[in-house]
Amino acid sequence: MKIFLVGASGIIGRAAHAELAQRHDIITGGRNNADVTIDLTDTASIEAAYKQVGAVDAVVSAAGNVKFADFWDMTDEDYRIGINDKLMGQVNLVLIGRHHVAPEASFTLTTGVLTHDPIRYGSSASMANGAIESFAKAASIEFGNRMRINVVSPGVITEAMEGYAPFFRGHEPVPAARAALGYAKSVEGLQTGQIFEIF
């Protein structure tokens, strides 16, 4: 397959690349150090990226920013970082991508454990994650047999614990390579409308 992997330079993106590149042709997308430059907050950038990569058999997103901060300090603008980037960035990868990808292509989006197990300072991430998962479930109904869409929801990643450990006490970290198996399951399997939780 020809796969467009957005966010390939991050910890999860690199692991997904290592897993999928064993069997498929990968085109990487990101703001920096990628085959194709793409900014998820800019629909024109997403459109241009799809035109550059051509029809692909799968789109994988391991990208999306949110702001982590104390709820009492969060503003409308702070929440919109996650809404415009992690949420609508991934939604727009699907909305724009559906007109560019190959027939019967698949989309795989990324959320995380904070959907169901929130932490302090993570209200924006939990909000965006929940919306993405609901979107994927609903979109899969209308995709019918033409396309597939799933979400990979990993726990806190082992390789990221140095920076995140104080916020994830009691969480069992997940190696990035194990999280990457969720992307393989989504891309290479037949299921749709699923949330592959890897906790």
Q: What is the CATH number of the domain that holds 181?
A: 3.40.50.720
CA distances 54 to 9, 20, 27, 43, 47, Å, are 21, 19, 10, 17, 11
Give the distance, in angstroms, between the CA of residue 29 and the centroid of all CA atoms in the same chain. Answer: 12
State the pLDDT at residue 144.
82
Distance CA 128, CA 132 (A): 6
Number of domains, the chain: 1
0.95 exceeded by the pTM?
yes
170 conformational bin, left if phi > 0, alpha if psi -120 to 50, beta if neither: left
**Which one, of 120, 115, 105, 128, lies nearest residue 196 by Cα?**
115
Find the distance separating the first CA and the last CA of the chain, reported in whole Å. Answer: 28
State the pLDDT at residue 145.
82
State the pLDDT at residue 146.
87
Question: Mean pLDDT per segment of 10 residues, for the chain of length 199 residues?
Answer: 97 98 98 96 98 98 97 98 98 98 97 96 98 98 93 97 92 97 98 97
Q: Which amino acid is at 11?
A: I
State which residues form the domain around 74.
2-198
